[in-house]
A and B are shown apart, each in its own frame.
Chain A
Amino acid sequence: MDVIRTEDLVKVYQMGEVEVRALDGVSLSIGAGDFLAVMGPSGSGKSTFMNIVGCLDRPTSGRYFLDGRDVSGLDRDARAEIRNEKIGFVFQSFNLLARTSALENVELPLVYASNAQSARQREEKARRCLRVVGLSGREDHQPSQLSGGQQQRVAIARALINEPTLILADEPTGNLDTKTSEEVMGVFQSLNHEGKTIVVITHETEIAEYAKRIVVFRDGRVVEDRAVAHRRAASRPVA
């Protein structure tokens, strides 16, 4: 079954007198276990697409099925619940809570989960996720004590903790150098290898080539949808 299926997604922003069609009829299916790279110049609509797929925003028209369920019409609270349970976010600027340990950052989604867990359970899960991204032993470090690559891996661990159906990464390597970018993409590849569905938004072709499939946006439409012929592999698989 498709993890993501969109039917004719349209998003219109009203900028004063002018109507801006950020998305102009996007129909896309992403199967379970897929690794998709979304590309396109700025203003192409890829961020709007990501916001809707991430349930941060609603489409003006069209339908969006996540895990077989139509989520395009859900209200704020229902979308918050979906984000918590089904989607793991990774951002360009890491978006970790400052002056908060790596462990607590990773635990954060569990705090807002509808099925409450004890502090001990939460901590145990968070430790496991940090181990997956190769950060065992750094549980008590605060973001300011970690390198950019490590911070992004903490963010990935946070995205994993609720065992989401989809990991959504928005320019995850935008703030990282080439070497750490490779490291982070390696983490995504190994997660995908274990069966996670991953969508990465990027404007760098090299980064996109770590994925299995590339979709290119332009002026709110999908203009290209192809499989990656020569897939890059991270030289050093992490943990």
Chain B
Amino acid sequence: MTKKNLKLIYNNSLVGPGIFFALLFCLPLVGSNYTLAIFTMIGFYALVCIGLTMLTGYAGQISLGHAAFYGIGAYTSAYMTATLGLSPWLAILVGALISALVALLIGIPTFKLKGYYLALATLGFGIIVYTAFKELSSITGGSNGFFGIPSISLFGFEFMTDQSYFYLIWFFVFMALIFSRNIIHSRIGRGLRSIEGSEIAADAVGVNLMKYKLQIFVTSAIFTSISGSLLAHYVTFINPDLFTANTSIYFLIMVIIGGSNSIWGAIVGSATYVLLGELLKHYVPIILPNVGGEFEIVFFGLLLVLTLIYMPNGLVPQFIKIAGKRHKKERSAPIAFSIDTRATGGKTND
């Protein structure tokens, strides 16, 4: 009887993700190469943000250092394939393992900190790794960057075109999405959410807070690293500037704009970021011809502030509200606009 009951609290159906990805996978039929390139980029960010959403929204921890894992994945793949000539798939695995190990080593001391201190510690970590990318030039090519990263192949099929990378990255996003949703709808997910619900009560029912914070941190580092590895093969050229603190901040902005209370927020957030970014690149120089290259961070910074003020749970709950409103149109109870002030994604769990 209770398998049905379980469905009342957890929707594990594959129908939603199935439809979404089926539609998405039709995109190459209609979209131009430019559109595909944009959606491929969204995929790279979405994979990062899914892990980060679990960390921020469900474990209540803020990381401003995820660009480091993105970079570790990218440089491991670059070095192992271009310099050592090893299999890209092996490189992805090694990159993920290194990232997991680093996350563990960084996480153990850092998660003793809370709120701003945690954010600062991860920011510092990100800067250290960025510096390492720049200075270890015998491996990374330093500031000049790393050229000539070979493409990925699978069973003789070589991933060369935008279209092939589009499918490749979104396949990983799909897997990560299902994997993360499964985690959230389980003992582990309840353990994590209990930390945000009441840390003291979580402790009292026997949830080992540190252990779960760490596990999610490691999981998100692995997702991020895989995304970085795939990115390296896609763009074939990387340099340290792809992995600065700014990148980490953008990741967090995507998560918050999308809404960290839902795993779908990761996809919504990265899509919003990339699409708005493209619009800005097109229209800002037309409207303001003298503006420099830094308008993007100003714009997204502003967007972050507005999001936190007007929709602290991000875009996803807004979509749900709109959908719900259409659903209940007949009843016409005007409650849909009340701002949900519960748990915000970016808040600390103190």
A and B physically associate: no
Residues of A near any B CB (own CB < 8 A): none
